[in-house]
Amino acid sequence: MGARELYDTEQALKLPGPKRVQRIHEEAQMISADHILVLDEEPRPTVSSRIFGANGILVRVLYFISPALILVVWEIMARLGWVDVRLFSAPSLILKSLVPVVVSGELWMHTLVSVQRIVLGFLVGSLAGVLLGLLMGLLPPIRAALGPMVAATFPIPKLAIMPLILLMFGLGETSKVVTVAVGVFYLVLINTMTGVINIDRIYLDVARSFGASKKDFYLTVALPGALPMIFAGLKLGMGTALLLIVAAELSAARAGIGYMIWRAYDMFDIERMFVGLIDMSILGYLLSILLDILERIVIPWKEH
Amino acid sequence: MYDSSQTHSAVENILKNAGHSSVRSSPDALRLPAGTKIAVRDISKVFRTRAGKIVALEHMSFMIREGEFVCVVGPSGCGKTTLLRILAGLERQTAGKVYIVKGDNERTVMTREGSTISRDSRPLTSIVFQEQSVFPWLTVKQNVEYGLRMRGVPGEERSRIADHYIKMIGLAEFANAYPHQLSGGMKQRTSVARAFANDPEILLLDEPFGALDEQNRVLLQQELLRIWEGSRKTAIFITHSIDEALILGDRVIIMTARPGTVKAIVDVDLPRPRQVTDLKSQPAFLDLFRTIWGQLSEEVLKTRELERSQKDRARTRRSDHRSAF
Ligand SMILES: Nc1ncnc2c1ncn2[C@@H]1O[C@H](COP(=O)(O)OP(=O)(O)O)[C@@H](O)[C@H]1O
Ligand SMILES: [Mg+2]
């Protein structure tokens, strides 16, 4: 391919712009092809890349049907006798025992009881965590006074203090709510405090130079500046809350998903156990979506 | 994850002193030349760090008249930002005094009962920071309104003033956007508008156009000239561009290498109103440019030498350690 040809191609493309064709093209010498590097246009997606590619149909379909696929495999293995149905049950059996608990409203009742405990404990724990976290982040004397105590008690597994909580708060609802609240409290507290401490100091200078009062500073810098971290703490706290509720409902409970699971375990009702587990996972999923939605509303400036 | 020994002096400071009022002691009376707005008297600033003392400013003195536009140039690291932070009340000098003459700020306000004199809540200074400083959690408009909001200006008036300055910086379409949706230059323009909207007696600008592209810089210089020539507000403008200093300033303060002090002050007697595009071709402009460049380049070279000798010293110290083994 010669220079003359290149020139013609350019004209044939009818590129916009004035006087784009320069004389130099016509006088240019011939250059052999091995001295020219051609940067080609991107390839058009092929049929196989559209199916098997990183963003292909297969990947997207798998994403949605993989849970169903696992259920199918599980069912087949159970039917073929490759897994012990008495221990591992089978999707069809679980479904069969799911229907009556749903219809009778029993599952709903257990779920409601657990949700009530989780939400109450979560609210109490996170509210206390945010307040104390802000105080500790903002006021060095309070940080100095309470910091060591928080650092020393945070690593204690919350499950280990459950007996103590039972002794202090009795066998009723309070002890369950407190268990959840304590777990949530620490995570939210530490995240909030870290969030406040790590606010870029330029924003403190801006607030100061524009004459922000103490109250203005809390509301327009400290709180919004720490909010992303606070939400990270709330999300961690929600995970912990779900973990703790099952443990809390192990003892001295007469309702709740955790209670249902432990009861089913006692009676060796594997299917019922699975019903409880599935309920728990759906609940956790919904609560995390709820927090995501809340975050979008409360932190509109964050890139999502 | 958690460290109780962490301290955060910045947070402590804001709770202790909010701006000028509590930082400054006021003398009963002071003899100053007529028309003085700012008198900087023999100030020094020493930063004590773990690595040792850093003398940022040393025996610096100058005066600024009411309504004057003063540009400050100097090699990087010579203490320009430190000087501005001291003037803004964000930092206190180690020695020396700064006197700022407050305006009367009295204005006639028409009320239903008739006119009364009211003391305005006009702030003394507003600062445009060198680095990104718009609040990520506020929209462009909320950022521009910030100073007015802190002063308790009612919402409607606040909104009107903010809209005016947002239009001026060419961000009307982005008034309700959050900073993460803006380019770096747009954020910097927002923080310029935030300082202007606050209507201070003294504007402090720390290389405000340093991060802007050429076209936006010229446009904003032009806009700044237009506004300033209308209001004649006292302004201190730090820049690393001699061009910019000459385009905007009545006078240019040239600072020495660190420890920073005044090396020379050059009067810029170019007529106003000025046109950015016309100025650069004027012979007087070129003469001034050469004068300042001559002074400044000496200091830049000195800064380089200083940095080199510091590196050398660090290297010898390291080799000392090695020979000790
Ligand atoms: N908070 C601080 N702590 C310690 N050193 C500082 C601090 N602020 C500024 N400095 C030092 O003071 C000198 C002047 O800094 P600065 O005023 O930012 O210079 P410029 O704005 O002229 O580039 C620099 O050497 C810098 O490292
Ligand atoms: Mg600087």
CB B42 within 8 A of CB B62: no
How far off is chain B from A293, nearest CA to CA, in Å?
A: 18
Query: What is residue B115's predicted lDDT score, i.e. its pLDDT?
Result: 52
Ligand 1 near B77 CB (within 6 A): yes
Q: What is the pLDDT of residue A34?
A: 82
Question: Of B72, B87, B78, which is closest to residue B254 (Cα–Cα)?
Answer: B72
Cβ atoms of residues B263 and B295 within 8 Å: yes
Query: Nearest-CA distance from A212 to chain B in Å?
Result: 6
pLDDT of residue B321: 53
Q: How far is CA B313 from CA B28, B55, B75, in A?
A: 49, 18, 22
Report the C-alpha gap between B21 and B24 in whole angstroms. Answer: 6
The three-point CA angle B62-B67-B71 to 5° equals 50
For residue B137, which residues of chain A lie inside 8 Å, CB to CB?
224-225, 227, 299, 301
* Ligand 1 contacts CB of residue B47 (under 6 A): yes
**Residues B69 and B20 sit within 8 Å (Cβ to Cβ):** no
| Contact yes or no for B88 and A209 at CB 8 A | yes
Kindly write down the DSSP assignment for every residue of B276-303, as one continuous string: HHHHTTSHHHHHHHHHHHHHHHHHHHHH
Q: Distance between CA A138 and CA B7 in Å, rounded?
A: 10
Tell me the pLDDT of chain B averaged across its residues.
84
| Three-state DSSP class for residue B238 | strand
Amino acid (1-letter code) at residue B261: T
Query: By the 8 A CB rule, do B147 and A211 touch?
Result: yes
What Å distances lie between residue B49 and A271, B53, B54, B55, B315, CA to CA?
67, 6, 7, 11, 20
Both tokens of A11, joined, read 């004209």
Calculate how far, in angstroms, residue B77's C-alpha sits from the geometric centre of ligand 1. 6
**Which residue from B121, B84, B93, B92 is spatially nearest to B106, judged by alpha carbons?**
B121
Q: What pLDDT tens digit does each residue of chain B (325 aa) get?
A: 444 444 344 444 443 444 554 445 555 677 888 888 999 999 999 999 998 999 999 999 999 999 999 999 999 999 999 999 999 999 999 999 999 988 776 555 454 455 555 555 678 899 999 999 999 999 999 999 999 999 889 999 999 999 999 998 889 999 999 999 999 889 999 999 999 999 999 999 999 998 888 888 898 899 889 888 888 899 999 999 999 999 999 999 999 998 999 999 999 999 988 988 888 889 999 999 999 999 999 998 988 888 888 777 776 666 555 444 4
B76 CB under 6 A from ligand 1? yes
**ipTM higher than 0.90?**
no
Distance separating alpha carbons of residues A276 and A118, to the nearest angstrom: 16
**Inter-chain Cβ pairs, chain A and chain B, closer than 8 A:** 106
Asked whether the beta carbons of residue B19 and residue A300 sit closer than 8 angstroms, the reply is no
Helix (H, G, I), strand (E, B) or coil at B53: strand
Task: Classify strands B36-49 and B95-100 as parallel, antiparallel or unpaired.
Answer: antiparallel
Cβ B81 under 6 angstroms from ligand 1:
yes
Q: What is the pLDDT of residue B270?
A: 92
What contacts 24+ positions apart, CB below 8 Å, involve B99-105?
B99/B30, B99/B32, B99/B36, B99/B38, B99/B39, B99/B41, B100/B20, B100/B24, B100/B37, B100/B38, B100/B124, B100/B125, B100/B202, B101/B32, B101/B36, B101/B37, B101/B38, B101/B66, B102/B201, B103/B201, B105/B201
Q: Could you identify the atom of ligand 1 that is nearest to the CA of residue B48?
A: 4
How does B122-147 read in b/e, with b if 16+ C-beta sit within 10 Å?
ebbbbbbbbeebbbbbbbbbbbbbbb
Token pair in block for residue A263: 């009861």
Quickly list DSSP for A135-162.
Answer: HHHH-HHHHHHHHHHHHHHTTS-GGGGH
User: Which residues from chain B sit within 8 angstroms of residue A208, using beta carbons?
Assistant: 13-14, 18-19, 89-90
CB contact burial B152-180 (16+ within 10 A = b; e otherwise):
ebeeeebbebbbebbebbebeebbebbbe
Q: Locate the ligand 1 atom nearest the alpha carbon of residue B130 and give its number.
A: 21
Tokens at residue B292, please? 């300042």
| Residues A204, B89: C-beta atoms closer than 8 Å | no
Q: Which of B4, B123, B146 sits opposite A148 (nearest CB)?
A: B4
Which 8-state DSSP code applies to residue B260?
A: B
Within 8 A by CB and 6+ apart from B246, the residues are B71, B252, B268, B270, B279, B285, B288, B289, B292
At residue B252, φ and ψ (nearest 5 deg) are -120, 125
Q: Is B127 on the interface with A (CB under 8 A)?
A: yes
Cα torsion B279, B281, B286, B292 to 10°: value is: 40
Ligand nearest to the CA of B210: 2
pLDDT of residue B20: 57
Using DSSP's 3-state secondary structure scheme, residue A130 falls into helix
Of all protein residues, the one whose alpha carbon is nearest to atom 17 of ligand 1 is: B79
* Per-residue burial over B24-58, b = 16 or more CB atoms within 10 Å of its CB, e = otherwise: eeeeeeeeeeeebbbbbeebbbeeeeeeeeeebbb
> Residue B65's beta-bridge partner residues?
B36
**Which chain B residue lies closest to A198 (C-alpha atoms)?**
B8
Q: In chain A, which residue's Cα lies nearest the Cα of B5?
A: A144
Contact present, B212 and B29 (Cβ < 8 Å): no
Q: How far apart are CA B26 and CA A226, in angstroms?
A: 37
Residues of A in contact with B81 (CB under 8 A): none
Q: Give me B239's structure tokens.
A: 């820049």
Pairing of strands B125-128, B202-206: parallel
| Residue ID of nearest Cα to ligand 1 atom 23 | B77
* Contact (CB, 8 A) for A143 and A136: yes
Q: Which of B9, B43, B47, B238 to mutate to test the pocket of ligand 1 (most atoms within 8 A of CB)?
A: B47
- Give the Cα separation of B135 and A180 in Å (integer): 35
| Distance, CA of A281 to CA of A67 (rounded, Å) | 13
Whole-number pLDDT of residue A302: 86
- Cβ atoms of B267 and B86 within 8 Å: the answer is no
User: In this predicted structure, what is the pLDDT of residue B11?
Assistant: 41
* Partner-chain residue, chosen from B1, B10, B85, that has the shortest CB–CB distance to A190: B1
pLDDT at B94: 95
Angle subtended by helix axes A106-138 and A257-266, to nearest 10? 130
Q: Does B2 touch chain A (CB under 8 A)?
A: yes
Residues A97, A271 contacting (CB under 8 angstroms): yes
Six-digit token pair at A242? 């779900």
Give a three-class secondary structure readout of A238-253: HHHHHHHHHHHCCCCC
Whether chain A has a CB inside 8 Å of the CB on B192: the answer is no
Residues of chain A with pLDDT under 70: 1-28, 304
* Contact assignment for A213 to B14 by CB distance below 8 Å: no
Summarize pLDDT for A38-95 with one digit per residue, the tens.
888 888 888 888 888 888 888 888 888 888 889 899 999 999 989 888 888 899 999 9
CA distance A75 to B249: 82
DSSP 3-state of B2 = coil
CA angle B100, B105, B108 (to 5 degrees): 170
Task: Name which of B129, B134, B135 is nearest A224 in CA terms.
Answer: B135
Helices A162-169 and A173-197 cross at an angle (nearest 10°) of 120
Q: Among all residues of chain A, which has the CA nearest to that of B140?
A: A301
**Partner A contacted by B148 (CB < 8 A):** no
